[in-house]
């Protein structure tokens, strides 16, 4: 609350955002065209105000502009995804939201993460959604496309969650200071003479071997590493997080085998 009193802009934005989502939710009394457009406007204004209220001023203007474009884009597309009346549009807004998030990843110098997210989510998962929707919507939109159930509690609950996350992020100090990391990365990159103006760093520019102080020999020192290199990511994934990666792989394999096992055989009438 105290924080909101200091940032009235953010509070106003949040209120407008909530009101806008409620107006956008399908199934309210007035289903004329004007209401959703008004709701969209209110939501957009709310998101922009909230972001403007929360955000501070950074040193690099271009980065800031890109960050806010992607952040606002991701949030707005997320809102539109859950409020879209047509499931196909919902899936498309989801895709756009994912793409905006990938833009944020790129800004954080995580190009591999961005590309992998595009391949897996936008390229495969949402295409599969579209596939299913196109198969299922042969006879037009169903009743549950026109009405949202429990709109008010669902919206409020999700915003309580959002508030909890924001508050936690604001209260707890970050694990390592972002600015330190950035400066060190800059120093390293400058020392290694970057080939281009792109923010991606090729593996040749990795800092040379440092004395290993970590328990795991495979892991590189996070703070010293120019962020975004494939080599660092690979070493971290298959060094620090090897167990988690293997566990996830096993889980997927089990799910795969399960899917094959429960699918009907050809003799049982499947195609």
Q: Which is nearer to another protein, 132 or 164 (CB)?
A: 132
Which is closer to another protein, CB of 131 or CB of 176? 131
Minimum distance of another protein from residue 131's CB (angstroms): 5
The residue among 204 and 209 lying less far from another protein, judged by its C-beta, is 204
* Least spacing, CB of residue 4 vs another protein, in Å: 38
∠ CA 11-65-173, rounded to 5°: 55
238 interacts with another protein by CB under 8 A: no
Dist. CA 76–CA 17, nearest whole Å: 10
Q: Which value, in Å, is the radius of gyration of the alpha carbons in the chain? A: 23
**Shortest distance, CB of residue 238 to another protein, whole angstroms?**
13
User: How far is the C-alpha of 106 from the C-alpha of 230, rounded, in Å?
Assistant: 13
In the complex, what is the shortest distance from the CB of residue 8 to another protein, in angstroms, rounded to a whole number?
37
Question: Which range in 11-19, 144-152, 192-200, 251-259 contacts another protein by CB under 8 A?
Answer: 192-200
- DSSP track, 49-115: HHHHHH----S-HHHHHHHHHHHHHHHHHHHHHHH-SSHHHHHHHHHHHHHHHHHHHHHTT-HHHHH
Interface residues with another protein (CB under 8 A)?
88, 92, 95, 111-112, 114-116, 118-119, 122-124, 127-128, 130-131, 134-135, 195-198, 200-203, 228-230
């Amino acid at each position: 609350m105290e924080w909101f009193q200091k940032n009235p802009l953010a509070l106003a934005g949040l209120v407008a955002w909530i009101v806008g989502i409620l107006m956008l939710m399908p199934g309210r009394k007035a289903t004329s065209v004007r209401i959703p457009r008004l709701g969209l406007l209110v939501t957009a204004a709310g998101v922009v105000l909230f972001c403007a209220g929360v955000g501070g001023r950074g040193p690099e203007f271009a980065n800031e502009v890109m960050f806010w474009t992607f952040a606002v884009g991701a949030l707005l597309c997320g809102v539109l995804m859950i409020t879209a009346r047509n499931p196909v549009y919902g899936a498309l807004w989801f895709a756009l939201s994912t793409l905006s998030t990938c833009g944020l990843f790129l800004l954080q110098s995580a190009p591999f993460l961005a590309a992998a997210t595009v391949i897996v989510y936008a390229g495969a998962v949402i295409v599969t959604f579209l596939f299913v929707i196109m198969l299922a919507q042969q006879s037009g939109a169903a009743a549950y496309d026109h009405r949202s159930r429990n709109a008010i509690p669902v919206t409020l609950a999700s915003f309580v969650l959002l508030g909890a996350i924001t508050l936690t992020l604001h209260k707890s100090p970050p694990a390592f200071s972002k600015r330190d990391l950035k400066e060190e990365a800059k120093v390293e990159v400058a020392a290694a003479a970057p080939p281009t103006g792109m923010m991606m760093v090729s593996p040749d520019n990795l800092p040379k071997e440092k004395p290993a102080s970590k328990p795991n020999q495979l892991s590189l020192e996070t703070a010293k590493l120019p962020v975004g290199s494939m080599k660092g990511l690979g070493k971290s994934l298959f060094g620090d997080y090897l167990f988690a990666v293997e566990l996830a792989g096993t889980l997927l394999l089990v799910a795969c085998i399960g899917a094959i096992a429960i699918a009907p055989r050809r003799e049982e009438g499947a195609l």
